[in-house]
Structure 1
Amino acid sequence: MIFNSDQFFTIIIWVVVLDYALNTVIDLLNYKKANSKLPTDLKDIFDEEKYDKAVQYQRVNTKFGLWSGLSSLIIMLLVLIFGIFGDLDSYVRLHFESVITQTLAFFGIIYIINDIWNIPWQWYSTFKIEEKFGFNKMTPSLFWKDKLKNYLLTIIVGGILLSVLVFLITWIGQSFWWIFWLVITVFMIGANFFYTSWILPLFNKLVPLEQGSLREKILAYGKSVNFPIENIYIMDGSKRSSKANAFFSGFGKRKKIVLFDTLMEKHTEEELVAILAHEVGHNKKKHTISGMISGVLQSGAMLFIMSFMVFNPALSQALGAEHLSFPVNFIAFGIIYTPISLILSLFSNFISRKHEFQADEFATITYNGEALQNALKKLSVDSLSNLKPHKWYVFFHYSHPPLLQRLKAIDKHK
């Protein structure tokens, strides 16, 4: 079925409104489920004061999200109804000659305006909410430095990829999708290989884990599961937040383990090795590879579908453009693709939660389930996690299972 511009416009409006409505309902369900009274099954994890603080943290963030989401909805509807994207397309056509420069200017202007709009929200979240609950360690100076670095990365990386995309579209036509898919695949693999070497150092300092008891325990564990561990780094995560984390990056000899300094401060050596054992479990069970393959396949599917829409002038006209416009069609396609993206994210989150259980099981069997449980409890308490989320909120948003489910699963493998 071929849609005209009015039908496309109606579809786009409905997608925007229904997506907002769905997320709002889920947020409200999660909000109403929060209870300030400490549940019996959480008494060995939280005390009354800490649990009440966690509930308040969830409520404040939910309210903040509802207000920011509503404001974004209103802005988007006004932009769509008054054809602002079409006006912007006419402006860049007058001031730039080639399709590539027009597209870069179009998205550059949108990026700047959108970021200016978001800065007050980001500022309030960081320096009001996170500050109030004791998480924020970022200074205003660091906030702006991060902004400038993100602008630079967006201009370089985003500009190059967008230019290649438009070039392929204008040069090859509808078959552009599979060549750009190869480009994106190479980029995704390269980003995974070089993230901790090239990108992360722009924002954080990485120092090798010094010789000592912890390093010896980590190396001994790696040897026991035939998993060579050489590159272990400590990252200064405390310069931005008191929250803790750990992750693996890269493949083969470029594989690196990164521990936040906040993680080091709050956990015993046994707990730290248990956390690493969990991460090793992801690698041993090929979760990193399967996640990469899933991302590649999803990007290919998205580009294939986009190839049938990017040349449709009715789609451009639906957003107010007078002629076929690739940048306007990118915007329209991104909105229309939202339901498909939602379905794919539900599947990805389901697989991710399954993988977390498997990594927990691996760490329990090969190292110490009790130490892992203690580490997970501390991480949840220190970050004021929601330990009683609504099941629908978990289904739509959680890439990790709720803590209580993980603790029960670990008990089965001890």
Structure 2
Amino acid sequence: MEATTVFYILISILVLSFIVDSILGALNAKHFNDPIPAELSDVYEENEYKKSQDYKKTNEQFSKKTTIFSVALTLSFFFLDGFKYVDGVARNYTENPILVALLFFAIIMFGSDILTTPFSYYKTFVIEEKFGFNKTTKKLFWIDKLKGWLISALLGGGILSLIIWFYQIAGANFWIYAWILVATFSLLINLFYSKLIVPLFNKQTPLDEGELKSAIKTYAHKVGFTIDNIYVIDGSKRSTKANAYFSGFGTQKRITLFDTLIQDLQTDEIVAVLAHEVGHYQKKHIIFNLMTSILLTGLTLFLLSLFINMPIFSEALGVSEPSFHIGFIAFGILYSPLSEVTGVMMNYISRVFEYQADNFAKETFAAEPLISSLKKLSKNSLSNLTPHPAYVFMHYSHPTLLERVQNLKKE
């Protein structure tokens, strides 16, 4: 196979992915004006549903424009030998393979982020502001951006450096050591994300004693679930949208409630949401997802080890000197169709898990408060109640609200 052939295979994958996503988006958009299903008739008033339709249409148009810009930028980079240019810039400063790779990715990622930041800014301060969601200040927006760059540089740069070092000392077997590294990192992040990363962006405080905490403790005792770490996060400083999540396991497990969730829902509805999260834990979904992620990472790294040393990848991207970072770019694009397939499979499993967690909440607490909480959360976030089935199949990690309500109402 010639380098030119590989080049056009890469281009074809990028273009085909764009076409498929565009078709799915168009199919989904055709359902924006569908009437509300009878089971969800109490979610929106007429004027609220009109607002949710406007929100969906606005986001769809915005997403279409940002995607076209991103694809055009990527294709321009390919056809104008952008990778060759950036590789040359990096090599002007050092010949150390690790430092060259770090500089290469830093230039590309920082440059890409700078070019797409106006879209992110518009999304936050125009679209989200218009529909009443945004609570982020301009100062906080830029502080978050700087913190994100710093964390990416430290964690991403550190892991990449070690992987390339493994490649230098172990050759084709580098993937084994890289797998151990990434698996260990994934485990640590799962255990300590809420303690180490979240505080960099949000304030977390223990849930105060009172009716809600007592109700949570009573439910936890009923199902034999030990939970001493219940925290409230100040999500309202960025958005009015509400959420709750479960993190860690063993002695490090923790429940985190957004302050907006506490404001929007009644006590029994919050307990029902937490019963759903406890269901994920009791059904071993968290462990399954972690182990599956680690196994898929191992598969990806193994496949990378088979292709990373092929000079044809570098030649396809216009770079004369083969290197890990250029091979990594080409492999990432070639791997994306397989990644899409595994992503669809994981989304399907995730939707099954959501049903199981809902059923656990229904059996150990009650169905009605969970139904009402889901409806309120959907209403407050102007969620799409009528998505296209193909779009759901490809992109949704949760069943639709209608599917969850119908499942919860089953005897």
TM-score bracket, normalised by the shorter chain, equals over 0.9
Rounded to whole Å, the distance in 1 between the matches of 2:311 and 2:92 is 19
Rounded to whole Å, the distance in 1 between the matches of 2:296 and 2:78 is 27
1:7-406 paired onto structure 2 within 5 Å:
7-35=5-33, 37-406=35-404
**What is the CA distance between 1:259 and its match in structure 2?**
0.1
Rounded to whole Å, the distance in 2 between the matches of 1:95 and 1:322 is 18
Check the 8 A contact 1:36/1:52 in 2, yes or no.
Answer: no
The worse-fitting range, judged by mean Cα deviation, of 318-327 and 354-363 is 318-327
Check the 8 A contact 2:36/2:386 in 1, yes or no.
Answer: no
**What is the CA distance between 1:39 and its match in structure 2?**
4.8
Rounded to whole Å, the distance in 2 between the matches of 1:78 and 1:229 is 52
Rounded to whole Å, the distance in 2 between the matches of 1:179 and 1:170 is 12
Check the 8 A contact 1:277/1:362 in 2, yes or no.
Answer: yes
**What is the CA distance between 1:36 and its match in structure 2?**
6.2
Check the 8 A contact 2:34/2:386 in 1, yes or no.
Answer: no
**What is the CA distance between 1:83 and its match in structure 2?**
1.4
Letter in 1 for 2:171: G
SS of structure 2 residue aligned to 1:64: helix
Gaps of 5+ in 1: none
Letter in 1 for 2:227: I
Deviations 1:166-217 (A, max 9, x none): 1111111111001100100000000011101110000000000111111111
Q: How many percent identity over aligned positions?
A: 43
SS of structure 2 residue aligned to 1:345: helix
Rounded to whole Å, the distance in 2 between the matches of 1:39 and 1:271 is 22
Letter in 2 for 1:206: Q
Check the 8 A contact 2:36/2:385 in 1, yes or no.
Answer: no
Check the 8 A contact 1:87/1:320 in 2, yes or no.
Answer: no
Letter in 2 for 1:85: F
Rounded to whole Å, the distance in 1 between the matches of 2:39 and 2:294 is 41
**What is the CA distance between 1:347 and its match in structure 2?**
0.3
Rounded to whole Å, the distance in 1 between the matches of 2:219 and 2:37 is 37
CA RMSD after TM alignment: 0.9
The worse-fitting range, judged by mean Cα deviation, of 62-71 and 29-38 is 29-38
Deviations 1:234-277 (A, max 9, x none): 00000000000000111111111000000000100000000000
Q: TM-score, normalised by structure 1?
A: 0.98
Check the 8 A contact 2:276/2:360 in 1, yes or no.
Answer: yes
Rounded to whole Å, the distance in 2 between the matches of 1:50 and 1:291 is 36
Letter in 2 for 1:355: F
Rounded to whole Å, the distance in 2 between the matches of 1:19 and 1:231 is 42
Q: TM-score, normalised by structure 2?
A: 0.99
**What is the CA distance between 1:90 and its match in structure 2?**
1.9
User: How many aligned positions are there?
Assistant: 411
**What is the CA distance between 1:37 and its match in structure 2?**
4.8
Deviations 1:1-36 (A, max 9, x none): xx3211110110100000000001100100111116
**What is the CA distance between 1:159 and its match in structure 2?**
0.9
**What is the CA distance between 1:38 and its match in structure 2?**
4.4
Rounded to whole Å, the distance in 2 between the matches of 1:309 and 1:184 is 19
**What is the CA distance between 1:91 and its match in structure 2?**
2.1
Letter in 2 for 1:27: G
Deviations 1:271-319 (A, max 9, x none): 0000000000000000000000110011111101111111011101101
Deviations 1:46-94 (A, max 9, x none): 1111111111111111110111101111111111112110121122122
Residues 360, 39 of structure 1: alpha-carbon distance in 2 compared, 3 angstrom cutoff: closer
Residues 228, 219 of structure 1: alpha-carbon distance in 2 compared, 3 angstrom cutoff: same
Letter in 1 for 2:98: I
Rounded to whole Å, the distance in 2 between the matches of 1:193 and 1:91 is 39
Check the 8 A contact 1:54/1:385 in 2, yes or no.
Answer: yes
Gaps of 5+ in 2: none
**What is the CA distance between 1:368 and its match in structure 2?**
1.1
